[in-house]
A and B are shown apart, each in its own frame.
Chain A
Amino acid sequence: MAETVLFIIFGIFALAGAVIMVWARNPVYSAMGLMLTMFSIAVFYVSNSAHFVAAVQVIIYAGAVMTLFLFVIMLIGVDKAENRSENLPVQRPLALTLIVLFGAGVVVAGRLAWTTGVRNPLNPVNGTVEAIGNELFRRWLLPFEITALLLIVAAAGAIALALFTDDDDVEVDA
């Protein structure tokens, strides 16, 4: 019962946040809408007993990623009036048609079966830090190490993008 109430309330929040994100004229409002959606999804994680993932969602997404987005929005400037006219002639009607078709396809596929595969007969999953750690550092150790490498490469790439100026002949001495 409690889960139903939570689902309805935060489902509305999540959808409202997503629509605000797409609709808002001001990118700051878009970021706020996305933040609302991410918090609602964290609540859904908790109701699906994914406690560790919920904490990571709030810290990484709603915290770090959205702060980064807001930094860049402030850097680029929010007061610019965005031109909302569309240059491609049939882009908007075509996009809306495709969105509706895609949504209908997903719903039709979901009515057949939301999940396939064999249900594990063991205890219900409980995403505690201990359970996730056991899984992550045993079966998924190599992928875990590779993501560390990926993060270092991404950080180095971001620094390289920010460091070199766009004048082709002048390069900043690093």
Chain B
Amino acid sequence: MTVTPGWYMALAAVLFVIGTGGILLRRNALVMFMSVELMLNAVNLTFVAAGRQLNVLDGQVAVFFVMVVAAAEVVVGLAIIVAVFRRRQTASVDELSELRG
């Protein structure tokens, strides 16, 4: 029984779906943010597996760029969460639903 890239992609799909579930079910902004990271990681795994299947290095280069963008996103996103927390004393997105600044 050999592991084909399809196995990795199936696993990545399941991880992506779990991340989607985290976004939809949780109300803590930090946990939702971690779910986004999980989804990005799942897609990265798909890139690497597809690159191996097609024998090209582009998949790994794409992962590199996704990681850079994800790092930038984490920096700004966490800064926003901290800024919101300083103002409203909560990290729950339900209590931030008024959009009144």
Q: Which residues of A contact B (CB under 8 A)?
A: 3-4, 7, 11, 14-15, 18-19, 21-22, 27, 30-31, 34, 37-38, 41, 44-45, 47-50, 52-53, 56-57, 60-61, 64-65, 68-69, 72-73, 75-76, 82-84, 86-87, 91-92, 95-96, 98-99, 102-103, 106-107, 110, 114-115, 117-125, 127, 131-132, 135-136, 140, 143, 147, 150-151, 153-155, 157-158, 161-162, 166
Contact = CB atoms under 8 A, between A and B. Distances in A.
B85 A76 contact: yes
B99 interface: no
A41 B45 contact: yes
Contacts, number: 232
B55 A50 contact: no
The A contact surface, by secondary structure, is: helix
Nearest to B73: A154
Size class of B's contact patch? 35 or more
7 contacts: A15-B18, A44-B11, A48-B51, A87-B94, A117-B54, A119-B54, A161-B82
